[in-house]
């Protein structure tokens, strides 16, 4: 294919479809659906559809001050790094077909790294905004990061071991090819769900910005445009996390592959939306039915319960692999 066409489709992918524009709209929609379902679960009315957009625009209009004690360069740069990481991660996750916009052997590791960028941007932003409460909030963010990152990687590697590839597209194709693997990978899916909930700092793991405790978390000194970007990062991270989970564990655009041509692509997108919304709904129900844990309980649960489950899952996948290859009967 000619270079110009490559560049055009690359830019199109980056700026429009699975990239910026789509994620911006889908991120805000996901936030609306999350807040609405959460409200309905609590017998509340919930926000109007355009509320997240209104919040975003309002924050853009507000003054974005830099606190005196802050280290300005890092304080200002923090929101952008998280957002950039999350947007680029989306490019490596299959959406309309089993192949993502860009795919290469090992892009699963890239996606996992890019998905942890927002937590680091939160840490740097909070630590360098010169406020003792945000510092305590950031130490909790990092403690929580140590808690959920290991189980998250282990859970993500389970399907990689099963599929024998480190490419999300390859994994999605493999699971699409043998759908019964979705059942095999269910424990890893559970671990990944809880880790994603912790990564997004949502109840029961919203300890770093627990509203009723010490004070708010790392973002206490942020306002205006920068705060809007941080909130957008969290919305998009929710969507990208759900997309990654549906690609790794639910077989990406599984049933859509049967249709050929553009109908298949369209069906792929519809299936993608359905699966990601299902994952987001699961996270919302989880958020509605439990209380917030303390930081040491969170770390305790992740290391004492989730890491063993993830390890057992990888053992199970290995056993199933050997069994299907006929090595053991």
Place of tokens 């249709």: 259
Which residue in 309, 79, 52 sits closest to 188, CA to CA? 309
Q: Taking the complex as a whole, how short is the minimal distance between the CB of residue 279 and other proteins, in angstroms?
A: 17
Q: Could you say whether residue 45 binds other proteins (CB under 8 A)?
A: yes
In the set 16, 65, 290, 319, which binds other proteins (CB under 8 A)?
290
Q: Could you say whether residue 42 binds other proteins (CB under 8 A)?
A: yes
Scanning 59-67, 161-169, 229-237, 282-290 for contacts with other proteins by CB under 8 A, the matching segment is 282-290
Paired tokens of 37:
């379902």
Nearer to other proteins, 48 or 179 (CB): 48
Paired tokens of 171:
């994994």
Q: Could you say whether residue 51 binds other proteins (CB under 8 A)?
A: no
Place of tokens 């998905």: 115
Which residue in 83, 73, 90 sits closest to 125, CA to CA? 73
Nearer to other proteins, 109 or 286 (CB): 286
In the set 177, 285, 312, 318, which binds other proteins (CB under 8 A)?
285
Contacts of 196 (CB under 8 A, 6+ apart): 152, 241, 242, 245, 283
Contact 218, 142 (CB under 8 A): no
Number of residues this chain uses to bind other proteins (CB under 8 A): 39
Separation CA 158–CA 270 (nearest Å): 26
Site for other proteins in 299-318 (CB under 8 A): 299-300, 303
Contact 82, 117 (CB under 8 A): yes
Q: Taking the complex as a whole, how short is the minimal distance between the CB of residue 227 and other proteins, in angstroms?
A: 18
Contact 189, 245 (CB under 8 A): yes
Q: Could you say whether residue 262 binds other proteins (CB under 8 A)?
A: no
**Contact positions toward other proteins, by CB under 8 A?**
40-45, 132, 135-136, 139, 142-143, 146, 203-204, 206-207, 210-216, 285-286, 288-297, 299-300, 303
């Amino acid at each position: 294919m000619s270079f110009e066409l490559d560049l055009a489709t690359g830019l199109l992918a980056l700026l429009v479809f699975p990239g910026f524009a789509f994620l911006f709209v889908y991120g805000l929609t996901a936030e609306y659906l999350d807040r609405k379902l959460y409200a309905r679960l609590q017998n509340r009315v919930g926000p109007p559809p355009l509320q997240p957009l209104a919040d975003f625009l309002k924050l853009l209009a507000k003054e974005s001050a830099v606190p005196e004690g802050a280290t300005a360069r890092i304080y200002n740069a923090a929101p952008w790094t998280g957002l950039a990481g999350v947007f680029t991660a989306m490019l490596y996750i299959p959406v309309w077909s089993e192949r993502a916009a860009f795919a290469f052997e090992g892009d699963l590791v890239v996606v996992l790294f890019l998905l942890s960028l927002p937590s680091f941007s939160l840490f740097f932003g909070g630590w360098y905004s010169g406020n003792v409460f945000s510092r305590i909030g950031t130490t909790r963010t990092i403690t929580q990061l140590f808690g959920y990152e290991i189980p998250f990687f282990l859970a993500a590697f389970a399907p990689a071991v099963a599929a024998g590839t480190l490419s999300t597209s390859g994994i999605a194709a493999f699971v699409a090819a043998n759908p019964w693997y979705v059942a095999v990978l269910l424990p890893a899916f559970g671990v990944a769900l809880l880790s994603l909930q912790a990564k997004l700092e949502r109840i029961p793991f919203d300890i770093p910005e627990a509203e009723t405790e010490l004070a708010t978390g790392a973002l206490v000194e942020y306002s205006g445009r920068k705060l809007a970007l941080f909130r957008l990062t969290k919305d998009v991270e929710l969507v990208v996390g759900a997309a990654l989970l549906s690609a790794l564990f639910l077989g990406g655009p599984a049933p859509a592959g049967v249709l050929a041509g553009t109908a298949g692509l369209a069906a792929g997108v519809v299936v993608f939306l359905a699966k990601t919304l299902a994952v987001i709904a699961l996270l919302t129900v989880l958020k509605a039915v439990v209380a917030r844990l303390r930081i040491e309980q969170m770390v305790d649960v992740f290391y004492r319960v989730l890491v063993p489950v993830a390890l057992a899952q990888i053992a199970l996948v290995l056993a199933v692999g050997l069994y299907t290859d006929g090595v053991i009967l």
